[in-house]
Amino acid sequence: MDKIYINEMEFYGNHGVFPEENILGQRFRVTVVLETDLRAAGRTDDLDQTVNYADIYALCKEIVEGKQFNLVETVAENTAGQILSHFEQVEKVHVKVVKPNPPIKGIYDSVAVEIMRSRHE
């Protein structure tokens, strides 16, 4: 299956289990990989034959910057579900949500979750 990658989209959201995360908010980075057939788009050079990246970006922004969730797992699940429900040509979607600065003591780069969902699950 062909793939479209939209890497490291950055948004500001208020997700987390600690009150300060919900009040102050923080950065989140989202990467999506869309599995779809790109043959017709490649042959015709027609945007209607593929997935519009701007529309995916807008949907991800709406989810991350919209409703507040406790878990990044929920952000990822909602993102995958919305992509599959709004873009019927997408057969599978991989979603990675990175939380660069969670309030956890220690030295680390970030925390992240990555999920894969399919239209036929």
**Domains in the chain, number:** 1
Q: What is the CATH number of the domain that holds 107?
A: 3.30.1130.10
CA distance 16 to 68: 8
Catalytic residue among 67, 96, 99, 105: 99
In the numeric block, which tokens belong to residue 82? 């919305």
**Could you tell me the maximum CA-CA distance found in the chain, to the nearest angstrom?**
52
* Residue percentage of the chain with pLDDT more than 90: 85
Instruction: Specify the DSSP element, H or E, that contains 112.
Output: strand 111-118
Please state the separation of Cα 101 from the chain's center in Å. 18
pTM: 0.94
The model's pLDDT over 85-121, given as tens digits with 9 standing for 90+, comes to 999 999 999 999 999 988 888 999 999 999 999 998 6
For residue 33, what are the domain limits? 2-118
99 is catalytic: yes
Contact yes or no for 64/76 (Cβ under 8 A): no
